[in-house]
Chain A
Amino acid sequence: MSEIQDRVRGTLPVDRSRLDWRPYVYLLPAFVMIAIFLAYPLVDTFLLSFQEVVTLGGETRWVGLDNYVAVVTDPLFWVAAKNTLIFSVGMIVVPLVLGLGLAMAINRGIEGRSFLRSLIFVPVVVPIVVAGIVFSWLLSPNGLVNWLLTTVGIIEEPARFLNSVNLSLPSVMLMVVWKRTGYYMVILLAGLQGLPDDVYEAAKIMGKSRWAMFRHITLPLLKPAILITLVLGIIDTVRAFAHVYVMTGGGPSNSSEILSTHFYQVAFGYFNFGKGAAYGFILFGMSLVFSVIAIKLSGGTEI
């Protein structure tokens, strides 16, 4: 083994003779912050999830798994879960597909790729509250969407988007698609630009159709990028709060209640922190499980 290879670029090799204190000092502030603001509260709340807050002064008593059971047996929980599942289509699936299509559309054959990329990315940096507010008004009875639909003749009267039980969640999803497509597009664009040319050339010489090339070359090679966005999308979906909170508040009749907003209500609405804590861990567990499933389904990959 070459001595030069022994040394990774720019790093000191492992020096077993004497422990090097330097990296640990540099890492210290980060560890302290994480210990105080992450590790300790996490453990503390884990314990809290098995307790119930009995007085406003913060006294608690142990109730074992009661909190967890309470959360899971709450019918609203399952409504929220179902809604979250539907919501994930708007958070993940649609932006991913649209993002992929757009990435492929602007990857070649069009001028101003850089400008287009930045333009379509703009909604990603718009504050979520602003996006929620704007789309609330776009979809209001006097809003632009209704005006378009009635003018074109698809419907006769302005529809109540945010106020309808059926349409409230899809309305939020529309905003979410607007906001997230650019994000996926940028990632997939970067992935596309990293694809090797020679494979395509070989395929073309073999006479493969464009569709075949897409299915058998592009998609598999993009798998790592897609997978990462999937996993992050799952986490984002569980995390999504303002999207619904700002536009519909979860209503009407919980038709747009998602796990995150329901959690917030349980945790802070009634100040039952024990239950809220349990709920939080349940959510964490869910995102973990779904992420693992996604990774496994795609055949596993190194992180």
Chain B
Amino acid sequence: MSVTDVLTSDQDGFPGEQLVRYVAVSLAALFVIVPLYWMVATSLKDPSQIGVFPPTLVPSPATVEPYFAAWETGPWGQWFLNTILISGGATVVTLAIATPAAYALARFDFPGSNPIYLLFLGLLMVPAQILLIPLYNLLSSLGLVDTRLGLILVYSTFFLAFSIFLLHSFMTNLPESLEEAARIGGIPEWKIFVQVILPLVKSGLTATGMLIFVFTWNEFLFALTFLKSEQLYTISVGLQSFQGIHGATVYNQLFAMSTLATLPVIVLFALFSEQFIEGIAGLEMQ
């Protein structure tokens, strides 16, 4: 008997339990969907339907005009490009640094491995604010404030510990003696890492990369702080500034761009939802 059977068997389920279950889930689903629907629906309204009360629930006629209009009103293309470059760059840099580190911690037993592991664990808990000023000062002196590279480096540092942990869990599950067999075979260390280990943790790399990409895509505080020029804004900062400037009058355009900003992330999530959820849940469990 599984937990399922035990807890759903009629004799001790309270009356109407199934109903309650379905109602709860339906409410939750509704709660989740409504704001998103509102965003998409509004993005398809023509200006006459926004700002009216009572609000129009279904756009009629539905038009994609706001998308084009918005594109004229702000440097959205540039902003999307920035975000892709920054998130992509952060993903690459973080993975490049975190993967060997995770490998060392997962597959080698050496003096200091435990303290180092705990150190990275502690780093996970550092809140962003404390890093804000130190990093701003550092980047200032390096001339990296208001550059995409600067933000990439900041993100990489920030997500390093998290990535190491995630990759670590994938690597400890590899078969034992794998590297030893390769060493006996005369294969040099770096080749072992690249041709034996890496292919075997492909799914781990994908999951971690996905998460970094999405987290950096959605991030706001650091992007706001380290990017000053409008043409360097990420999509999040751009949205916020657009709202600040244009606000109430064109929120169909605002929502149009919001939808566009959300779309890539939703698509990635839809494609990789398993890895996403495993990654996050698994990380907590560690």
Q: What is the interface of chain A, defined by CB distance below 8 A to chain B?
A: 7-14, 19-20, 22-27, 29-30, 33-34, 36-38, 40-42, 44-45, 48, 98, 101-102, 105-110, 116-123, 125-138, 141-144, 146-147, 151, 158, 178, 181-183, 186-187, 189-191, 195, 197, 200-201, 204, 209-210, 213, 225, 228-229, 231-232, 235, 238-239, 241-242, 245-246, 260, 263-264, 267-268, 273, 276-277, 279-281, 283-284, 287-288, 291, 303
Q: Which residues of B contact A25 (CB under 8 A)?
A: 100
Check A127 against B218 for contact (C-beta < 8 Å).
yes
B113 contacts partner chain A, Cβ-Cβ < 8 Å = yes
How far is B23's CA from A101's CA once the two chains are assembled, in angstroms? Answer: 12
A-B contact list, 28 entries, CB within 8 Å: A12-B108, A14-B109, A24-B104, A33-B160, A45-B130, A48-B133, A102-B28, A108-B2, A108-B7, A119-B29, A121-B269, A126-B218, A129-B236, A132-B240, A133-B258, A135-B35, A142-B51, A144-B38, A186-B281, A200-B7, A201-B1, A210-B14, A245-B240, A267-B132, A267-B133, A277-B134, A280-B131, A291-B125
- List 11 extra interface pairs beyond A45-B130, A242-B236, CB under 8 A: A14-B110, A20-B110, A23-B104, A24-B104, A102-B25, A108-B7, A134-B36, A147-B55, A158-B53, A267-B133, A273-B133
Q: Is the CB of A29 within 8 A of B178?
A: no
Main secondary structure, interface of A, reads helix
Tell me the residues in window 156-172 of chain B with beta carbons closer than 8 Å to chain A beta carbons: 156-157, 160, 164, 172
Are B128 and A239 in touch, CB under 8 angstroms?
yes
Decide if A235 touches B137 in the complex (CB within 8 Å): no
B residues neighboring A (CB under 8 Å): 1-4, 6-8, 12-14, 17-18, 20-22, 24-25, 28-29, 31-36, 38-39, 42, 51-55, 96-98, 100-101, 103-111, 113, 116, 118, 121, 123, 125-138, 153-154, 156-157, 160, 164, 172, 174-180, 189, 193, 214, 217-221, 225, 235-237, 239-240, 243, 251, 254-255, 258, 261-262, 265-266, 269-270, 273, 276-277, 280-282, 284-285
**Which residues on the B side are within 8 Å of A41 (C-beta)?**
131, 134-135, 137-138
Question: Is A30's CB under 8 angstroms from B98's CB?
Answer: yes
For the complex, what is the distance from the CA of A109 to the CA of B239, rounded to whole Å? 42
Taking a contact as CB atoms under 8 Å apart, the answer to whether A141 and B53 are in contact is: yes
Instruction: Chain B residues near A239: list those with CB within 8 A.
Output: 127-129
Shortest Cβ distance from A278 into chain B, in angstroms? 10
Nearest A-chain residue to B34, judged by Cβ: A144
Of the candidates A117, A119, A291, the one having the most CB atoms from chain B within 10 angstroms of its own CB is A119
Say yes or no: A10 contacts B172, CB within 8 Å. yes
Contact status A197-B3, CB under 8 Å: yes
CB-based contact A130/B107 at 8 Å: no
For A281, the chain B residues whose CB sits under 8 A away are 130
- Complex Cα spacing A228 to B281, Å: 11
B118, B219, B280: the one contacting A183 at CB < 8 Å is B280
Closest Cβ–Cβ distance, residue A83 to chain B (whole Å): 16
Determine the chain B residues whose CB is within 8 A of the CB of A287 once the complex forms: 125, 127
Check B127 against A235 for contact (C-beta < 8 Å): yes
- Alpha-carbon distance A20/B129, docked complex (angstroms): 38
Chain A residues within 8 Å of B18, by CB: 109
Tell me which residues across on chain B come within 8 A of A107, comparing CB atoms: 3-4
Q: Which 7 A-B pairs have the closest CB atoms?
A: A41-B134, A23-B104, A26-B104, A242-B220, A108-B4, A45-B134, A30-B101
A276 to B273, CA, bound (A): 39
Q: Give the Cβ gap from B224 to chain A, nearest Cβ, in Å.
A: 8
A108-B3, A133-B239 known; A11 and B51 CB under 8 Å?
Answer: no
List of A residues within 8 angstroms of B3 by Cβ? 107-108, 195, 197, 200
**With A7-B176, A110-B25 known to touch, is A130 a contact of B239 (CB < 8 Å)?**
yes
Q: Are A34 and B123 in contact (CB under 8 A)?
A: yes
CB < 8 Å neighbour of A238 from B20, B24, B98, B127: B127
Contact of B108 with A33 in the complex, beta carbons under 8 Å: no
How far is it, in angstroms, between the C-alpha of A24 and the C-alpha of B251 when the chains are bound?
A: 53
- B215 to A: closest C-beta gap in Å: 9
Q: How far is the CB of B272 from chain A (nearest CB, A)?
A: 10
B35 partner residues in chain A, CB cutoff 8 A: 123, 131, 134-135, 138, 178
Closest to A232 in B: B284
Contact B133 A276 (CB under 8 A): yes
How far apart are the CA atoms of A13 and B129 in the complex, in Å? 40
Across-interface contacts of B270 in A (CB, < 8 A): 118
Complex: chain B residue closest to A30, CB-CB: B101
Check B261–A105 contact: CB distance below 8 A. Answer: no
CB distance from B67 to the nearest CB of A (A): 15
CB-CB nearest in chain B for A241? B221
Q: Is the CB of B265 within 8 A of A127?
A: yes
Given contacts A108-B3, A201-B6, A267-B132, contact A129 B239 (CB under 8 A): yes
Task: Report which of A20, A22, A204, A279 forms a contact with B12, defined as CB distance below 8 A.
Answer: A204
B52, closest chain A residue (CB):
A142
The residue in chain B whose Cβ has the minimal distance to the Cβ of A49 is B133
B101 touches which one: A27, A132, A134, A280 (CB < 8 A)? A27
Whole-angstrom distance between the alpha carbons of A40 and B176 in the complex? 38
Contacts of B126 in A (CB 8 A): 284
**A134–B164 CB distance below 8 A:** no
B21 touches A23 (CB 8 A): no
| Chain B, Cβ-Cβ closest to A43 | B134
Q: How far is the CA of A24 from the CA of B134 in the complex (A)?
A: 27
